Amino acid sequence: MSRPSRRHSSAVVALMLVSFLPASASAFEEFYAPAGQLVPGSGQGTADETVYAPGMRFPIGTGPAYPNSQVWGVGGSQGPGGSQCDAANYSYPWYDNYCETRSWDMPLCPSGVGHQGQDIRPATCEDSVHDIVASEAGTVTNIGSYSVYVTAASGQRFDYLHGSNVAVSSNQAVDKGQTLAKVSNEFGGTSTTIHLHYNIKQDVGGVGFVFVSPYMSLVRSYEDLMGLGNEAPQGPVDAVDCESIRGWAQDPDAPDTPIEVHAYFGGEAGNPDAVGVTLLADEYRDDLCDAIGSCNHGFTLAVPRSLRDGQPHEVYLYGIDTEGGDNAQLQASPGQFQCAPPPLPSGVRRLIASPEVLADWQLSTFWDMAKVDDASLQALPEGEPWPEQRLVVRAEDDDTWWVVDSGLRRGIDPTVAELWDIEDDEVQVWPADSVQGIPEGPPLRSERFLVAAEGSAIYMVDDDVCPPNDPLCVVGGTTSGGGDDDSGGDDSGTGGGGEHGGTDTNEVLPPSQDGADDGCGCRTSSAPATPLWILSFVSLSWLRRRRSRTTTKQPNKQMR
C-alpha cells in the first residue's frame, strides 16, 4: 500500500496520537485523503464530495476505523505482500476506494466501471469482534449469504457485506446504530480480508438505481462519532425576508477560511421533513474585516421559489465546523419569511416526464418550481412535452448556441446559457448547413420556471413550440387528451397525457414559404439542403417522445 501523500505525512504521527487525546484537542490535520484520491495504481476515482447520506451513523460501532483498499492494501491480491494486519492497513489517512478498478458498470465512475462501495477496516485486525451497526433506521430487506441490506424510509439502501454473527432477521425494523453483525471476512469461501464492504444505493434521477459514493458520508459520520470538537462556529443571521437570507459565519479555529452554512427549511437539522441547502459563506463584507479580523464570511441566500406560496416558513441556519465538531446554529436563527407567490409567466405548460429529464436539464424543483392550485395550472394551455435530453449545438463557423427542441433550434443568449448551466463542453459543433437546416423557433427563455399543482406532474412554462410539419400542432391549441401508443410507459419516456393540442384537424399548418411565418411563430429558411442523416436525427429526437422507446444496446466490452 502506498504511503500517505506528503501533505498528510506530518499528520500521520499526530493523528496516531489523536486517538488517545481528549476530544477537545486542538486543531489537527485531516485524517482522510480527498475524495477520489485512490491508492496509486488502483484506478481512477471520482472527486465527488457529496454527502449522499447526511446525518447518518458511522457503520462500525466504535472507532477508530480505517477505510482503505483491501485489494490494494498490504496483503491484498494487488497490494504489497504481507499480512492484512500490517500496521499500514490500520492507520490514517483514509483512502477512498469507490470506483477502484473493477470490470462492471458503474455509471457514476469516470471510467464507467469500478468498485461500488468502500472497504472499511475496524479498530483492530480481529475477526468477529467489532460491531457493524445500522447507518439509518429502516427495514432489513435482505439477508443473503454474506450480505445484509437495510432500506430506510427514504428508499435509500445501506449494504453491509462480509459480516458474521448476523443479529437481525429479514423484515425486521432496526434503529439507527443498532448492531447488525460483526466485522469479518465472510465471502462464501472466497478469500478476503477482515473488513466491512459498505454500499449506499439510491434511485438517482438520470440513472435509476445506482451505488453512490459513500466516502464523504463516512467522513462526516466519523467526525460525529469521534467527537472531533473544538471551538464552534459563530455568526448571526442578519435578515430574513423575501429578498434573501443574509448573515455571516466564521470558525474561530480557521478564522481566515470561509466556511459552509447549512440552511434548513421546514425544521431543524435532523428533521426528516426539512430540506437543507449548503452555501459557502465567502462574500466580502467591509464590516467584518476589523470586527472579526477577516472579511470574506458573508452569505446571501436566495429564497426558493417553491416556498413562495403565501405561507409562513422557518429557516434554521448553522455554521459548519471546519474540523467536524458540533455545528453551531447561528444567532437569530431560525428566521421566518412569508412571501407571495410569484406571478405565473405567460405561455404554455410543457410536461417534465421524469426525474431523468430534470437531471439532464439540471432543473431544481426546490429552486425553480412554483406550487399553484389546480385551476391556475389548468389555465395554462398544454404544449409539447419538454425535451427529455438536452442537445445544444452550434455551427462550425458561428459562435451562436442553439438548443434543439421539438425539431426546432432555439437561440441561447450567453447570459441565458449561464442561467441554464450550459457550458462549452456540452455544445456540439455541427456543419453550418446542418444547423441552418433546422427551422428556427423562439429563443430559450431567460427564466427556468417550473410549475406544479398538488399531486400533479411537473411542467415547464415556456413558449409554444410547433414541431415542423406536425399537422396536430396548433399554436395556443388545447390538450386533446390523447395518449401515446406506449401506455406501458417504458423508460418513463412519455409520462402520459402530455400530448400537444389540436383536436381541430382543420387547423393544419399552411405550407411554409421561404422566410414566411408558417403559422407557429417559426420561420423556415432558405438554407441549403440538409443531409438526410441530420434531418433523421432531429426528427428522431422529437419522435422519441411519441413512440415506445426500446433502447437496444450491445453489451459493452468489459475491462478485464
Partner 1 sequence: MSRSLQLNGSRGKRGFFALAAALGLLVVGPACDSGPIDVSERAAADGGTLPGPSLTAPTPRRGRVLGGERVDRIIEWPGERPAELPASELVGDMQPRSSEAIERSPVPVLVPPSMSEGASVMVGPSWFAFSGKQADLTVTVQGSSRAFVYPHIRAAEPTHTIRGRGGYLTRNEGIWVASWIEHGAAYSLELECATPFQGACADESMILALADELVFVGGAGPRDGGPR
Q: How far is the CB of 276 from partner 1 (least distance, A)?
A: 4
Q: Which residue type does 537 have?
A: F
Q: How far is the CB of 163 from partner 1 (least distance, A)?
A: 12
190 binds partner 1 (CB under 8 A): yes
CA 163-166-168 angle, to 5 degrees, is 135
Reduced to 3 states (helix: H, G, I; strand: E, B; else coil), residue 9 is: helix
Q: 389: how many CB neighbours lie within 10 A of its CB? A: 12
Asked whether the beta carbons of 445 and 463 are under 8 A apart, the reply is yes
Distances (CA, A) of 85 to 62, 88, 231: 18, 8, 36
Task: Show the site string, 129-168: x = touches partner 1 by CB under 8 A, - = not.
Answer: ----------x-xxxxxxx-x-xxxxxxx-x-xx------
Window 43 to 102, contacts with partner 1 (CB under 8 A): 46-54, 102
Q: How far is the CB of 227 from partner 1 (least distance, A)?
A: 22
Work out which of 237, 404, 444, 474 binds partner 1, going by CB under 8 A: 237
- Which DSSP string do the residues of 266-322 spell out, in sequence order? SS-TT-TT-EEEEEEE-EE-HHHHHHTS-SEEEEEEPPPGGG-SSSEEEEEEEEPPT
203 binds partner 1 (CB under 8 A): yes
- As a whole number of angstroms, the distance between CA 141 and CA 150 comes to 6
553 binds partner 1 (CB under 8 A): yes
DSSP designation for 53: S
Work out which of 242, 429, 540, 559 binds partner 1, going by CB under 8 A: 242
Find how far residue 338's CA is from the centre of its chain. Answer: 28
Q: How far is the CB of 22 from partner 1 (least distance, A)?
A: 30
Asked whether the beta carbons of 200 and 156 are under 8 A apart, the reply is yes
282 binds partner 1 (CB under 8 A): yes
Q: Which stretch binds partner 1 (CB under 8 A): 85-93, 402-410, 492-500, 537-545?
A: 492-500
Cite the DSSP H helix spans in 170-237: 215-226
Q: How far is the CB of 278 from partner 1 (least distance, A)?
A: 5
Window 505 to 544, contacts with partner 1 (CB under 8 A): none
Phi, psi of 410 (to 5 degrees): -120, 125
Q: How far is the CB of 516 from partner 1 (least distance, A)?
A: 36
Work out which of 298, 324, 325, 441 binds partner 1, going by CB under 8 A: 298
409 binds partner 1 (CB under 8 A): no
Nearest CB to partner 1, comparing residues 469 and 556: 556
Q: Grid coordinates representing 11?
A: 499528520
Q: Grid coordinates representing 33?
A: 485523503
Task: Show the site string, 362-391: x = touches partner 1 by CB under 8 A, - = not.
Answer: x-xxxx--------------------xx--
Asked whether the beta carbons of 480 and 503 are under 8 A apart, the reply is yes
Work out which of 14, 85, 88, 210 binds partner 1, going by CB under 8 A: 210
Q: Which residue type does 116 have?
A: Q
Nearest CB to partner 1, comparing residues 470 and 484: 484
Q: How far is the CB of 262 from partner 1 (least distance, A)?
A: 7
